[in-house]
Amino acid sequence: MAQLKRHLASADHVDVSQYQFINLEAVEAAAESLWPQIRERVFLASRSIIEKRTDDGDLIIQCESGFLVVFADLSGEAARSVTEAIRRDMESFFLGEEMLDLLGVSATSQKLTVEEFRRTLDAVEITEDAPCPEPEAATASESRAADAAAPIRVDDMAFRPAWDVRREAVAAFFATPMSRDRCDGAWRTGSRILIADHRPDHRLALDLETLRRATGALEAQLRQGVRCAIVIPAGYEMLAAPRLRVKFIAALNALPEAVRALTYVRVDGAPVDAPAGALSETCRSLVPHCGMLVVHMPLDTLSLERFADTGASFFGADLPRAATPAAEQNAEHFAALARRLDRPFYLDQAANWETLRLGLRVEARLIAGPVIGEFSAPSAPYRLTRAGLLANAA
């Protein structure tokens, strides 16, 4: 504010050939109850994006609902060029084209007198130094009511080691949520917890709870000096909805940096007929906010070409319980598809010696499943030789 006052005091008029309000109200609306937790991070990220494209003399003023940016020296086409660069950066950070439209980043050119400019500022509540409000604590009755209304419940977590075939070691774990049925006592895992109700907002609730529990276990390992990676699931249908995607990404961004770097996101359930552009936007928006992006597909997928521009570092699929001729053919074809895109791939759900051998034969980089093991928490990386694993599986 002191810089702004000096600027106004020294000018006969304010020549703002390019000023812009960057409105973050849509992010607040999309975040709903998460907004108090992520507000400060959203504003810090936005300021950082703007500062990378502006000079020291430019004014960046935080307002209640966003930022007012005033260029000191630029005007006309030069200012518009910087504005467009900021727009592109915002697009990359805030979830792509759809979210950018919601953000309402706009630029207008005007020449104002000092008094007119002061009135413009008076119309905006300046909160540059205002702290982020603390979220209100829910009462016990509210918490109980929320629990009762929750569409999903996670009772436990399983961490399945991903065996690195080349290194003959385990350094990453697939995190799987588990829920015990209150009627028959059977355990349901993964997306089966949702039973018949696979609405995107319920999938978001499941994925957020899985993320919370899995990263909590990872953080506990890091405090003990143990570094391993976890792979957490995220449903594509949920991610395809910008309103839900922003909540999932906000939860990733709320993680400590060391935890986030070791948290890999596995996108599940992408439709076989989804447009390549939509796949690319949905998946690539996750890449800056996690350690690695993985795309999980059916083993009998006909093509992976639509996923070439998703930013995925790995492709993966589930093995069937039996290594039938059809399963072998599908696995060989999937391996060829991944190699065509020059990407490593993993095979999950290896349940016995035959399916383990199938995974080795098609040269999967990672293999996971009951034959590899299952733990209640991630562990320190450990050696697991091919000979020892095959002997145990036989």
pLDDT at 55: 82
284, 308 Cβ separation under 8 angstroms: no
- pLDDT digit string, tens, across residues 26-52: 667 666 667 777 777 778 778 878 888
pLDDT at 141: 41
Q: What's the order of all strands across the beta sheet hosting 13-23?
A: 59-62, 66-70, 13-23, 108-113
Q: How far apart are CA 144 and CA 125, in angstroms?
A: 37
The answer to whether residue 147 scores a pLDDT higher than 90 is no
Supply the DSSP symbol for 287: G
CA dist list (Å): 264 to 32, 218, 293: 25, 12, 6
Is the domain of 178 the same as that of 107? no
Task: Enter the pTM of the model.
Answer: 0.64
Tokens matching residue 22: 């960057």
pLDDT at 71: 77
Exposure on the CB side of residue 196, measured as CA atoms within 13 A: 0
The answer to whether residue 73 scores a pLDDT higher than 90 is no
- pLDDT digit string, tens, across residues 78-105: 777 777 777 767 666 655 544 545 545 4
Q: Which domain holds residue 38?
A: 15-122
- pLDDT digit string, tens, across residues 170-214: 999 999 988 877 666 677 766 666 765 568 888 898 899 999 999
The mean pLDDT value for 129-138 works out to 43
In a domain? residue 150: no
Q: How far apart are CA 350 and CA 114, in angstroms?
A: 71
Pairing mode, strands 59-62 and 66-70: antiparallel
Is the domain of 194 the same as that of 335? yes
Is the domain of 182 the same as that of 106? no
In a domain? residue 34: yes
User: Tell me, what CATH number does 36's domain have?
Assistant: 3.30.70
DSSP string across 210-246: HHHHHHHHHHHHHHTT---EEEEEEEHHHHTSHHHHH
In a domain? residue 151: no
The answer to whether residue 149 scores a pLDDT higher than 50 is no
* Number of domains making up the chain: 2
170, 178 Cβ separation under 8 angstroms: no
In a domain? residue 25: yes
pLDDT at 67: 77
Is the domain of 280 the same as that of 376? yes
Is the domain of 200 the same as that of 66? no
